[in-house]
């Protein structure tokens, strides 16, 4: 089985587009989740995954601008968590879920 893959271009501050960036597996999943979340962003509470902050770290390293805002939360184990927002304008040019079988 082939891993989920997204290929995207990022709109740069000057309006031009980056070279295509390919993200695979959990990083592709995280990018997809950030795009779906829109300006509200998401947290690990809303989208549980084993290493969400690592996926964000890897996406930032690939050139995506992602903001983190920290929020307090209550419950049995009160603390703080990050809300991640994709600030980059991204255009998906290839999505392995939509690939046509040959």
Please give the pLDDT value at position 101.
Answer: 53
In our burial notation (b when 16+ CB lie closer than 10 A, e otherwise), range 43-66 reads bbeeeeeeebeebbebbeeeebeb
Please give the pLDDT value at position 102.
Answer: 47
CA atoms of 86 and 98, how far apart (whole Å):
23
Q: What's the whole-model pTM score? A: 0.89
Q: What pLDDT digit, counting tens, does each position of 18-57 carry? A: 999 999 999 999 999 999 999 999 998 888 888 999 999 9
Kindly indicate the confidence band of residue 75, based on its pLDDT and cuts at 50, 70 and 90.
confident
**Percent of the chain scoring above 70 in pLDDT:** 95
Q: Which two tokens stand for residue 8?
A: 């995207």
């Amino acid at each position: 089985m082939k891993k989920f893959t997204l290929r995207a271009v990022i709109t740069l501050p000057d309006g031009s587009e980056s070279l295509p960036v390919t993200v695979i597996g959990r990083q592709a999943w995280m990018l997809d989740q950030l795009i779906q979340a829109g300006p509200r962003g998401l947290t690990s509470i809303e989208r549980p995954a084993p290493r969400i902050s690592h996926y964000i770290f890897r996406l930032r390293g690939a050139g995506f601008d992602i903001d983190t805002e920290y929020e307090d939360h209550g419950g049995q184990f009160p603390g703080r968590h990050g809300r991640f927002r994709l600030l980059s304008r991204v255009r998906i040019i290839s999505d392995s879920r939509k690939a046509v079988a040959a």
